Structure formats: C-alpha cells, structure tokens
C-alpha cells in the first residue's frame, strides 16, 4: 500500500493525558468517532478514546503507558511484528503520515482483529511531538448516527480518516465493479442516503452502473434505476451533464430538473429524483489521468440538512481518489484481457486420439500481468504415437510467455525430427540449445510419448526435467505419482544423463499433467499440495473428464496462489472399447 499524505494537514493538536515526555496533550480524543490513540515521540500510548477501547476490548489502564507496537501489533499467526519491518511503528517514530490495510492487532480477549490504520503527526505544545494513530475496520463502514438517525457532521479528523480509508479501499482492488461498490459503501450512510455512479464507456456512451440506497440499516442496490443513459449533450448547463463533460462539482435538487428537460439525461435525472425522494444532492466528475470517467452523485432524502458548497471539496477529494483507482482498474483489465488472449493463442489445439479422451485447462494468474510461462502441448509423431508435454518457464510476464512459445516450438521441431527417439534424447537436445538460441532463463517440463500396443493398451514413456510428477488415477480411485525418470530442469548448464520410464495405462485410467500453480502455496509445503491433489483426484475418478478437470481446479488450486496453472488430462477407454 502506498503512503498517503493528506493535503493541507500538518500537525494535529491532541488530548488530555500526559505523555511520557511530560508534554501536555490538549483537546480530547472523544471528539473523534473513529478509534484513536495518541502516542508520544517514543511510540508510547499517551491517550485513547472510548471507540478504541471498544474496538480493542481493553481498559484505558491496559493501554496508556504501553508501547503501541509491542502491545498490539501482530502478524496473522499472533506473533509480534518485527520492529524493523513495521511500517506503522516507523511512521509513529519518524513523523510521517501513512496508512495500511488489513493488519492484525491483539484484542483484549486474546483473539486477533484485522484492522486498517492511519498515522499522522501532531504537535502537543511548544517542543512536544507525537502522533495520532487511528484504527478502523475497513470492511465495516461507519454507520453511527445522531439526532434521531440523521448523520452528524464530520469533524475535520473524521474527514481525514474517511479520505485515508477511501484510498485504502479503492487502491486495494483492481476490479472496477468492486471499487465502485466500495466507494458507495464509504459514502452511504456516512455522507448521504443515496450514491449514484454514471460511467462513460470507451465509446463515450453513458451507463448508470450503480444506484445504492441506505435502507433499514443496510445498503440496497437498486437495479431498477440502473442501466444505459442517453448521450451527454454538448451544451447543457445541467449539473450531471456538466460533470460528465468534466466541469466542476455542483449542488442539485428536485427543482434543478423541474423545468422542461433540455436532454435525455435531464429526463433520467427527473426520474431519479422522483424515485429516490432526494431533496438535496451533490454531483462531481470522476476524472482519470487523461479523461473524464464518469460522475458521482450523493443524495439525501431523510436527513435534515441539505448539502452546501462547503461539502463540495470533500466530494471532489473522494472522486479524485475514485478516478485514479478506476483508471488503474480499467488499465489492468485491458492489459489482462490482452495478455490472456495472447496466452490462449499461444497454447495449441489438442489433437484427436482414437479411443482416448483428452482435455486441457489454462487458468491465468489472479494478479500481476495474468500471463506467464505455463504451457501444455500434444501432437502426433507417427502412427499410433503421440507426444504430450507440460512445462513452466521461470517468470510471470510477457518475457516468460515469449520464452514459452520458443521452447514449445523447438520441442516440436526436435521431436518431429526424431520421431523414434526416447523423450530423454529430445529433452537433452533441447537443453543443449535453450541457453544459446532462446531467451528462456530456466524451465521445467515433462515430455511423454503415448503408444498404442498390440494388446490394445496405451503405453506412456516419459522423462521429467524438474517438473512436478504426473498423476495416474485408476477408475476405482487408486492413485500413483509417476515420480520415476526425474532429472535436472532446463537451463542450468549442468550436463547429466536424463532417464526415461515406461508404464502401461490401465483401462479407464486418468492421467493428469499439471504445473506447480495447482499445488504450491506460500502457507504449505509442496508435499501438502501433492497430497491434496491426489485425494481430490481419487474422489473425482468416476466423473466425466471435463467435469473432473473443472472440479479439480476449483477444489485443489490454493486460494492464495498467485501463479497461473496449465493442466492436460487424458483418459483411456474401457475394456469393452479395446479392439
């Protein structure tokens, strides 16, 4: 998460306990609705408000006088976070304005709570220094109200905390729809009763993509008010039309759209105010780095106070952050689509093998460039003989994808030039040249040949260059990893003989070749992943092959996996079909 400094904020005066340094702390933390702790220049807690005591499940006596980092900050396993790696402690001690998301803190009952944090410096008097630390649950927007259910005005520190939380929430997702829902949840009901988002498409069409209402204590999405909108008029002075052209934010109300409509958008706005009952609204453009992306409308229907010009700067700050987040999300999605399309075009169409079922899957990485070096291949070598391959080029970028294409094409050429050669001979030749005429740093792979014997049984001959072993699953659910013929990965420069192994595939058996993204996880050993794959594959042995592969991916692939996955599976025919 990037550091965030709030424009216009320097030091913030704070409260009523005395810090270890002896500097008085003026004011009161109880004015803040967010959970807040004041620390001195040594990181020692000097004061804490009631919201923080409630959030952390502690008494003030347990907190005041203690080191905030040592007492509260933990990793996901409950261990103390090393001081040298703690960005929160660094900000407390260096006087920086920073914030972080979804970190772990020790609750008074011994459990862990996942909170986001915001730290900003303050001056507690002549020569006095320290910091204000605010903790909040980023998953739960603040919905506390006063005055009979109507929101109290935000204090300056609440506004600052809202902007920090907005930055945290919006920059932590690269999904446009998720970012917009988070923006609405941050704004409603804290600022308004309604949130409306209109976006411009790449063809300059307008679509009302989100209408969110706060009703009976929950957020409700109004699908009936969403959908396509008329085009943006070039000269209309109406607030939404001006915002979609990039003009400054403005106030609006039912009276704004009571007269004869000057455009189709004005008609839709009349409908919106009538359907929602909004008596006051603010509308601001959502700007990206280069273009206007859309507009955000916040409206009030049950609150006493109408929006005023004083509310516009906060709205513009929110939409500025939303614009940057949406720009990044759209760019990421475009790159993801291009990269995934490229990857899929690089992967081959599978041949038809008489009597055999064969299918393959490719799942891009959930993050990063969504393209990498995982690949599979299958092609005919001679009558009744076919080649199977699975591999993984080091890297998760376009270079890895390009290296994968080079490696696969050379493998095909070498295999075709020696159709009778053992897989180990082909892979040895490939390894000899991989460092000299390709851009592949290192790679793992399995090359196998499938041959139909005189007894009508298929024989698999393979060599393994540092790759996870293939899995053989019989129809009755017995499993075996083909861990023979294991040799060095490609590109090491080490010359060693490569072994081959041969096995007969039983009738109705399923052979699975896969890349490490299916079984590797930062939290568990590779052995754990292999055992998980074996057990799930055994339970799915009776499923049709396509269903087998889909379920295997959904059930086995680790949720914290950030790698792409390639998989190829084949199934031999039942005995009755052998002839």
Long-range contacts of 476-481 (CB under 8 A, 24+ apart): 476/541, 477/538, 477/539, 477/541, 477/542, 478/538, 479/534, 479/537, 479/538, 481/530, 481/534
Nearby residues of 175 by Cβ (< 8 Å), 6 or more positions away:
329, 333
Q: How far is CA 422 from CA 226, 417, 429, in A?
A: 62, 12, 11
Q: Which of 7-21, 28-42, 72-86, 109-123 has the lowest mean pLDDT?
A: 7-21
Range list for CATH 3.60.40.10 in the chain: 347-577
Alpha carbon 226 to its chain's center: 26
Residue among 519, 425, 427, 443 nearest 481 (CA): 519
- Here the tokens at position 392 are 């993984």
Q: Give residue 387's pLDDT.
A: 94
Secondary element (H or E) of residue 116:
strand 112-125
The residue-averaged pLDDT of 165-184 equals 83
496-502 average pLDDT score: 94
- pLDDT higher than threshold 60 for residue 533: yes
Preceding amide of 189 cis, omega within 30:
yes
Do 426 and 391 meet the contact criterion of CB atoms below 8 Å apart? no
- Write out the residue limits of the CATH 3.30.450.20 domain(s) in the chain: 29-136
The predicted pLDDT at position 384 comes to: 76
C-beta atoms surrounding 272 within 10 Å: 22
Which element (helix H / strand E) includes 35? strand 35-40
Q: Between 470 and 526, where is the model more confident?
A: 470
- pLDDT at position 346: 62
pLDDT at 372: 64
Fold for 347-577, please state it: Phosphatase 2c; domain 1 (3.60.40)
Q: Residues 416-451: pLDDT tens digits?
A: 888 889 999 999 999 988 877 777 778 999 999 999
pLDDT (0 to 100) of residue 7:
32
pLDDT, greater one: 125 or 115: 115
CB atoms within 10 A of CB 280: 20
- The total of other beta-carbon atoms located within 10 Å of residue 477's CB is 13
Residue 322 main-chain phi, psi, to 5 deg: -65, -40
Taking the mean position of all CA atoms in its chain, how far away is CA 361? Answer: 22
What DSSP character marks residue 355?
A: T
Closest CA to 119 of 161, 158, 66: 161
Over residues 207-233, the mean pLDDT reads 90
Residue range 154-175: average pLDDT? 76
Q: What are phi and psi of 427, to 5 degrees?
A: -70, -35
- Looking at CATH, the fold of the domain delimited by 29-136 is given as Beta-Lactamase (3.30.450)
Give bridge partners of residue 524 from the DSSP assignment.
521
The pLDDT confidence band at residue 461, using thresholds 50, 70 and 90, is: very high
Give the predicted TM-score (pTM) of the model: 0.51
Strand 510-514 with 470-473, pairing: antiparallel
pLDDT band (50, 70, 90) for residue 103: confident
**Helix 526-539 and helix 545-556: axis angle, to 10°?**
140
Distance CA 439, CA 445 (A): 16
Model confidence at 504, pLDDT cuts 50, 70, 90, reads very high
CATH number of 173-334: 3.30.450.40
Lowest mean pLDDT among 138-147, 209-218, 349-358, 453-462: 138-147
pLDDT tens readout for residues 323-379 = 888 888 887 777 767 666 665 666 677 888 878 999 999 887 765 445 567 889 999
| C-alpha to C-alpha distance for 149 and 1, rounded to whole angstroms | 35
pLDDT tens-place string over residues 262-295: 899 999 999 999 999 999 999 999 998 888 999 9
Over residues 47-81, the pLDDT tens digits come to 888 888 988 989 888 899 898 888 988 887 788 88
By DSSP bridging, strand 194-200 and strand 206-215 are antiparallel
Cα–chain-centroid distance for residue 473?
Answer: 34
pLDDT number for residue 15: 40
Task: Answer with the residue of higher pLDDT: 214 or 540.
Answer: 540
Percent of the chain predicted with pLDDT > 70: 83
**3-class secondary structure, 380:** strand
CA dist list (Å): 309 to 84, 246, 302: 45, 18, 19
Of the listed ranges 15-29, 72-86, 537-551, the least confidently predicted one is 15-29
pLDDT reading at 298 higher than 50: yes
In this prediction, residues 380-393 reach a mean pLDDT of 88
Distance CA(433)–CA(537), nearest Å, equals: 36
Q: Indicate whether 148 pLDDT > 60.
A: no
In whole angstroms, what is the distance from residue 431 CA to residue 435 CA? 8
Token pair of 367, please? 């993050």
Q: How far is CA 358 from CA 122, 349, 534, 568, 572, in A?
A: 66, 11, 19, 7, 9
The answer to whether 379 touches 409, Cβ cutoff 8 Å, is no
Comparing CA positions, the residue from 435, 433, 432, 429 lying closest to residue 447 is: 429
Does 550 have pLDDT greater than 90?
yes
Residue 222 backbone phi and psi in degrees, to 5:
-100, 90
Q: What is the pLDDT of residue 477?
A: 93
Q: Give 422's contacts (C-beta < 8 A, 6+ positions apart).
A: 461, 463, 500
For residue 25, the model assigns a pLDDT of: 44
**Sign of torsion over alpha carbons 149, 154, 158, 159:** positive
For residues 366 and 547, what is the distance between their CA atoms, to the nearest angstrom? Answer: 22
Residues ≥6 apart with Cβ < 8 Å to 62: 108
Q: For 481-542, give the DSSP string.
A: EE--SEEPPBTS----PPP-EEEEEPTT-EEEEE-GGGT-BTTB-HHHHHHHHHHHHHHTTT
Q: What is the mean pLDDT of residues 391-395?
A: 83
Percent of the chain beyond pLDDT 90? 36
Residues of the chain with CATH 3.30.450.40: 173-334
Determine the average pLDDT of the residues in 489-509: 92
| Angstrom distance (rounded) from CA 423 to CA 400 | 23
Mean of per-residue pLDDT scores for the chain:
82
pLDDT confidence of residue 136: 78
């Amino acid at each position: 998460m990037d550091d965030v400094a709030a424009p216009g904020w320097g030091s913030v005066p704070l409260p009523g306990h005395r810090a270890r340094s002896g500097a008085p702390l003026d004011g009161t933390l109880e004015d803040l609705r967010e959970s807040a702790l004041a620390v001195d220049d040594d990181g020692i807690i000097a004061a804490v408000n009631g919201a923080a005591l409630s959030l952390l499940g502690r008494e003030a006596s347990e907190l005041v006088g203690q080191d905030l980092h040592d007492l509260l900050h933990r990793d996901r396993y409950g261990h103390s976070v090393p001081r040298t790696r703690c960005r929160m402690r660094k900000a407390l001690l260096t006087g920086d304005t920073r914030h972080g998301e979804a970190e772990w803190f020790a609750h008074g009952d011994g459990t862990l709570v996942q909170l986001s944090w915001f730290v900003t410096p303050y001056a507690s008097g002549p020569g006095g220094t320290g910091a204000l630390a605010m903790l909040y649950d980023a998953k739960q927007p603040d919905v506390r109200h006063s005055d009979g259910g109507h929101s109290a005005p935000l204090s300056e520190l609440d506004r600052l905390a809202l902007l920090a939380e907005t930055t945290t929430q919006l920059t932590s997702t690269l999904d446009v729809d998720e970012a917009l829902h988070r923006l609405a949840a941050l704004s409603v009901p804290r600022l308004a009763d309604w949130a409306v988002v209109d976006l411009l498409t790449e063809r300059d069409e307008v679509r009302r993509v989100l209408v969110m209402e706060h009703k009976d204590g929950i957020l409700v999405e109004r699908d009936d008010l969403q959908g396509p909108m008329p085009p943006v008029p070039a000269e209309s002075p109406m607030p939404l039309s001006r915002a979609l052209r990039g003009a400054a934010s403005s106030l609006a109300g039912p009276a704004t759209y009571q007269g004869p409509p000057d455009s189709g958008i004005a008609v839709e706005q009349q409908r919106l105010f009538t359907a929602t009952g909004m008596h006051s609204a603010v509308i601001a453009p959502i700007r990206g780095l280069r273009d206007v992306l859309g507009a955000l409308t916040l409206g009030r229907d049950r609150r006493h106070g109408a929006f005023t010009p004083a509310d516009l700067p906060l709205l513009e700050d929110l939409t500025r952050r939303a614009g940057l987040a949406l720009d990044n999300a759209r760019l990421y999605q475009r790159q993801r689509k291009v990269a995934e399309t490229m990857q899929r075009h690089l992967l081959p169409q599978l041949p038809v093998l008489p009597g055999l079922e064969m299918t393959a899957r490719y799942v891009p990485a959930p993050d990063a460039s969504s393209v990498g070096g995982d690949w599979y291949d299958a092609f005919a070598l001679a009558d009744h003989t076919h080649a199977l391959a699975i591999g993984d080029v080091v890297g998760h970028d376009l270079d890895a994808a390009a290296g994968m294409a080079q490696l696969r094409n050379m493998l095909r050429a070498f295999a075709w030039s020696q159709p009778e050669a053992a897989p180990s001979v082909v892979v040895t030749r490939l390894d000899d040249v991989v460092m000299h005429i390709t851009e592949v740093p290192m790679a793992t792979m399995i090359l196998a040949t499938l041959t139909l014997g005189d007894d009508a049984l298929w024989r698999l001959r393979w060599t393994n260059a540092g790759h996870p072993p293939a899995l053989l699953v019989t129809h009755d659910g017995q499993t075996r990893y083909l861990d023979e013929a294991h040799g060095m990965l490609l590109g090491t420069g080490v010359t060693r003989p490569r072994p081959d192994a041969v096995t007969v595939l039983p009738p109705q058996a399923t052979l699975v070749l896969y890349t490490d993204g299916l079984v590797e996880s930062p939290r568990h050993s590779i052995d754990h992943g292999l055992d998980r794959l074996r057990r799930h594959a055994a339970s799915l042995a009776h499923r049709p092959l396509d269903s087998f592969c889909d379920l295997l991916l959904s059930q086995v692939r680790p949720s914290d996996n950030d790698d792409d996955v390639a998989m190829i599976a084949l199934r031999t025919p039942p005995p009755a079909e052998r002839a």
